Structure formats: structure tokens, C-alpha cells
Amino acid sequence: MKRPKCSDISEELWPPQGATEEDLEVYRLTRQENIITDTDFISLYEIHKNKGIIKKELLSDDKYYALSVYDDIDDAKGTMRKFPHKFKSICEGRTIADEGCVRSTPSASCVSHRSWWLYEEANPVKDFTIVGENHE
């Protein structure tokens, strides 16, 4: 298994149990309208670390170090509607097997949710584009 992009993940959590390297078409939420940046591809742990608000109760949850992606655009849209102050657009792209591993992590409201752990040298921005207004 390759090294994780989020180097703070504990050895006990790496590699993530049940995660596999797959090429999948997925959707990811962005923080700016109609723009995709590298910061759209960092984990919640890294966001919290940058703000100085690490959630200690989540440190033993491997999903804290992953990115959220969706197989179904409707789940991505639903999450964006729930958190309009955080998310402004949806991008679509691929999880590249050489760049990370994924695991299905559904919830009652997002059955197509997956957690995606990037590898150290991953650069997913190049594999994603903003979804147009009429995308179904």
C-alpha cells in the first residue's frame, strides 16, 4: 500500500480497512462557485488542522482523513443543499486507482457516499471538471 497524502493518519488506520483501489466516476463538492482548487481535495481532518480545531473524538475514525465523494449526483446535490454556506458547486471526475483507495460509506441520507483516501503524490484536480447547470 502506498503512503497516505494525509501523513497524520495513524498507522492503525492505514491502510483503511475495506478500501480498494478503483477507477470510479464520482462527484465532489467544491467550496467556490464554478472553480476547482487543490483545497477542494483535502480531508476534513486537514481542514480542521489548518483552522486549529482538530476534533479529538474523530481521530480514531479513518473517514476523518478521507475525502467525501458520491456515485450519484443527487446525493451530492442534497449535501450541497444542506450546507450551502460550505459548498458552492459540484465537480465530476474519476478516482484513479494509482492515486488513492475508496470504500463505500453510505448513510441514511447519502446511500452513494464513498470515502476516498488519497496517496502521497495524488493530484486529483486534473481529473475533475465543474458540472453544468443542466447535468442530470
For residue 9, pLDDT over 70 is answered with yes
| Residues 29-46 pLDDT 10s | 999 999 999 999 999 999
* Structural domain contains residue 1: no
Answer whether residue 136 shows pLDDT above 90. Answer: no
| Within-domain flag for 135 | no
Mean pLDDT of the chain: 95
88: domain range?
A: 11-130
CATH classification at residue 76 = 3.20.170
CA distance 91 to 99: 18
Which pLDDT score, from 0 to 100, does residue 133 have? 60
In this prediction the pTM is 0.93
CA dihedral 74, 75, 81, 86 (to 10 degrees): -130
pLDDT single digits (tens) 68-107? 999 999 999 999 999 999 999 999 999 999 999 999 999 9
Give the up-direction half-sphere exposure of residue 38: CA atoms within 13 A in the CB hemisphere. 5
Gap between the Cα atoms of 27 and 30, Å rounded? 10
Q: What is the mean predicted confidence (pLDDT) over 116-121?
A: 97
